[in-house]
Amino acid sequence: MITRRNVLLGTTAAISAGLLTRVSDARAAEWPVRPITINIGNAPGGDDDTLSRFLAQTASEELGQPVVIENRAGGSTTVAGSAVAGAKPDGYNILCLITAGLVQTVLRDNLQYGLDDFVPIVEIGGYPLALIVSAKAGITSIDELMAVAKSPDGVTFASGGVGTVGHLTSTMFLKEAGGKGVHVSYKNNPEGIQALAGGFTQMIFASAREAALLKDDPNVRVLAVTSPARTTNLPNVPTTAEIGYPQVNSRVWYSYAAPKGVPDEVVTKFSAAIVKGVKDPKFQERFTPLSFQTDIKTGDELTAFLKAEQDKFRKVITENNIRLNN
């Protein structure tokens, strides 16, 4: 039975809901009213940290509030990912989501969050990878590398850890080339590169920025880069497509994401501030010579890209039985 009391209660509820919606919309429109934190999944000094600190300066100016960096290193970026996934979706906690972080969502069996727990905001671009071999171990060309990779023992390849982009790209490359290899995992890329230079391993995929530091080292050879075109810091090094492996096109990319449920206005404002920073000539002057390649994606394009990357790495992980159980 409809009574006057029920009508009044329904009307009151509707008015309250409307007021709450308007308050929420107003708060989103006013955002930000306090400092914003960009959560970084690695220690200070890494590429995600360096890029984000530079962009935070422009973002602070554009948004009228401090944009601060908090390094939450650990678990191959999952400490930071977990913190942001569980944060209040009010726009004050942002995650620097990088390739390694996305890989964790398909690599780890017990991860408590996934890609769907975030709202992608903007991708800014990244660094292509470089195929580096050990001259000290007797490999100086792609033909010599293939000879070893197709031998009974295969090639010994290094990486900065199980499930890293370098590990998965080496695995993809060897499958594409019809070779095989033995993976040697190190704590990070610098340790892996050091082992390569010492002749303890024979191959590694590292970033083109890292590879450029080795171009004069007689103990290594940089054979290819994974970008569509040659890089500015390694102009004489061919692409993987040029040497016959166009499907090997991984790169280390950088993006930003917020907890699921964040207002659209926050996404729009933060994205615009980051894009302005990336397009700043000072940003380009600093990072382009290091082989950073700008590639801005937002909205549906970014969502589709992240899902495609997830599918690509899931296939490599599944086909090669690569797992972490924590």
Q: Dump the DSSP string for 167-229.
A: HHHHHHHHHHHT--EEEEE-SSHHHHHHHHHTTS-SEEEEEHHHHHTTTT-TTEEEEEE-SSS
Average pLDDT of the segment spanning 159-183: 96
- pLDDT confidence of residue 109: 86
Please give the mean pLDDT across all residues of the chain. Answer: 92
Q: Tell me how far CA of residue 35 lies from CA of 205, 269, 270, in angstroms.
A: 38, 14, 13
- Which residue from 187, 130, 126 is spatially nearest to 159, judged by alpha carbons? 187
- pLDDT confidence of residue 23: 47
- pLDDT confidence of residue 19: 45
- Which residue from 91, 123, 126 is spatially nearest to 274, judged by alpha carbons? 123
CA distance 318 to 298: 29
In this predicted structure, the answer to whether residue 3 has a pLDDT above a threshold of 80 is no
Do 95 and 258 meet the contact criterion of CB atoms below 8 Å apart?
Answer: yes
Q: Tell me how far CA of residue 54 lies from CA of 38, 50, 272, 280, 291, in angstroms.
A: 12, 6, 15, 11, 17
Average pLDDT of the segment spanning 100-117: 95
CA distance 32 to 64: 8
Do 133 and 220 meet the contact criterion of CB atoms below 8 Å apart?
Answer: yes
CA distance 267 to 285: 27
Average pLDDT of the segment spanning 142-155: 97
Dihedral angle at the C-alpha atoms of 103, 104, 106, 111, nearest 10 degrees?
-170
Residue 258's pLDDT band (boundaries 50, 70, 90)? Answer: very high
- pLDDT confidence of residue 215: 87
- Which residue from 6, 106, 88 is spatially nearest to 261, judged by alpha carbons? 88
